Structure 1
Amino acid sequence: MKQDTQIRNSMIIAIVDDDDSVRTALESLLRSCGYKVKTYCSALEFLNTDGPAQTHCLISDIQMPGMSGFELHKQLVAMGFHIPTIFITAYPEALPPLSTDTPALIAYLPKPCDTNKLLNYIETALLQQN
């Protein structure tokens, strides 16, 4: 259990979503579970900071103005970042199946997210980084 706490305290989860209420709710949930969290209102904001280099797990909306979550993920891979990613979306029926062709993709989750599933996927992502 102590090791789990150390992992949570030393690894950063980035949340990228254009919906302020989603960012705030996820940030509150994850901080209450002991995680370090950084939030970004767009894919471009995330890319234009040191976020990619600091992030150990990425939670990203898929449909955002400017650059989608899929485009963000593709850009990160092109830049050499293979950040374990959990996509969230309000339109789960439009999702392609999970593919091994997409490096570091952990899961797709519908909005609102099932808290237990999200936390389990985050633990999976962080263990890949450890």
Structure 2
Amino acid sequence: MEMLPMLIAIVDDDPAVRESLLDLLEVSGYSAVTFASARDFLASPRIPEMHCVLLDISMPGMSGVELYKELNRRQIVVPVVFMTGHAQDGLIDEAKRAGICLSKPFVGNQLRAAIEVAVK
């Protein structure tokens, strides 16, 4: 039986970041879906299929850290890799306490390594 690729969610308010990460993940052998906001992600019926979520820390509306807390509140267990380009120090510290945090820009090897660590 053929193994399906891991499904990775990309939650980032920047369309260029979503598109470049989507391309990078697909070239790396992952399957990926994108969401422009935390609210869009929470509305997705595909959350139970997710193997990992790449989550921008600073987004309008609900931040990545707030989304992480909401997933925990709903008892949705999915590995998260936080990403930041310019988050407030407090949010970065909170994200690092919750798990893996990559600083943008990062290279493909860093992203793949972070995903592999997160899903173990």
TM-score (norm 2): 0.87
Percent identical: 39
1:52 and 1:76 in contact (8 A); partners too: no
Q: Secondary structure at 1:65's aligned position in 2?
A: coil
Structure 1 consecutive aligned stretches of length 4 or more whose deviation exceeds 2 Å? none
Name the CA shift for 1:92/1:115 in 2 (closer, same or farther; >3 Å).
Answer: farther
- After superposition, the CA RMSD in angstroms is 1.8
1:14 and 1:40 in contact (8 A); partners too: yes
Q: Secondary structure at 2:68's aligned position in 1?
A: helix
- In structure 2, the gaps of 5 or more residues are none
TM-score (norm 1): 0.81
Partner in structure 2 of residue 51 of structure 1: 46
Partner in structure 1 of residue 102 of structure 2: 109
Partner in structure 2 of residue 71 of structure 1: 66
Name the CA shift for 1:71/1:93 in 2 (closer, same or farther; >3 Å).
Answer: closer
2:58 and 2:87 in contact (8 A); partners too: no
Q: What CA distance in whole angstroms lies between the structure 2 residues aligned with 1:56 and 1:82?
A: 10
- In structure 1, the gaps of 5 or more residues are none
Q: What CA distance in whole angstroms lies between the structure 1 residues aligned with 2:6 and 2:25?
A: 12
Q: Secondary structure at 2:29's aligned position in 1?
A: coil
Q: What CA distance in whole angstroms lies between the structure 1 residues aligned with 2:59 and 2:118?
A: 23
Partner in structure 1 of residue 113 of structure 2: 120
Q: What CA distance in whole angstroms lies between the structure 2 residues aligned with 1:78 and 1:37?
A: 24
Which deviates further from its counterpart, 49-58 or 39-48? 49-58
- Name the amino acid aligned to 1:90: G
Q: What CA distance in whole angstroms lies between the structure 2 residues aligned with 1:116 and 1:10?
A: 18
2:58 and 2:84 in contact (8 A); partners too: yes
1:88 and 1:113 in contact (8 A); partners too: no
Query: How far is 1:10 from its partner?
Result: 3.6
